[in-house]
Amino acid sequence: MTLSSDGDSLSKFLSDRVRFKLYACQRHLKNLKNIESKYGNLASANVRLGAEIEIDCLLSQMIGTVDSLLIEINDKLELGISIDKVEIVAVLSGLLAKTKKIELLEDLDNASQYGNWYWLVQQLRNYSFHSSLILIPANSTRLYLPSMPTSSVNDSTSIELIPYLEQSLNKLKKLIENIRMKELALS
């Protein structure tokens, strides 16, 4: 995604908070990959802080992207949900009451279920509130997901962190695209 220096295009881009947040996700992932490429080992003292910041920001922006999408749906479909109460369950309920078209968020609801990819993104973000997400087993230079007591992933330490984040971001992009296409059909 490239940005034009045209003020009107920039203003339009910045007003589409979903696109803006997806762009921010891409930037944080790119920054993390650049750190890994430049230094090799993200656990080393001189790069760990920067890597932690990028991971934390990426996870927060991914969740913020979904939150922005839910707010957009609430506004466009005039569901009447207070902005501080907009969440998946509330929007699904509003969709059912107002449009009977809950399939708009079916994919997001599935991804958010226990053990699925978006659920794990949320768990990783929550985990980052109290622990580092940088886990490098002995004799390895790769980052892996930390073991979390709430995870249904049997051996999450076998999942590399950066490829997982990249895969999750790609799933998020596809999810947003699919929801927006369904949303257009409802409008």
Can you give the pTM of this predicted structure?
0.87
* pLDDT tens-digit readout, 21-31: 999 999 999 99
Mean pLDDT of the chain: 86
Share of the chain above pLDDT 90, in %: 59
Average pLDDT over residues 39-59: 87
- Decide if 108 is inside a domain: yes
* Number of domain units in the chain: 1
- Decide if 5 is inside a domain: no
Boundaries of domain holding 155:
12-186
* pLDDT tens-digit readout, 75-130: 999 999 999 999 999 999 999 998 888 889 999 999 999 989 999 999 999 999 99
- Decide if 125 is inside a domain: yes
* pLDDT tens-digit readout, 152-165: 544 445 688 899 99
- Decide if 25 is inside a domain: yes
Are the C-beta atoms of 61 and 24 separated by less than 8 Å?
yes
Residue 159's contacts (CB-CB under 8 Å, 6 or more residues apart) are 144, 145, 153
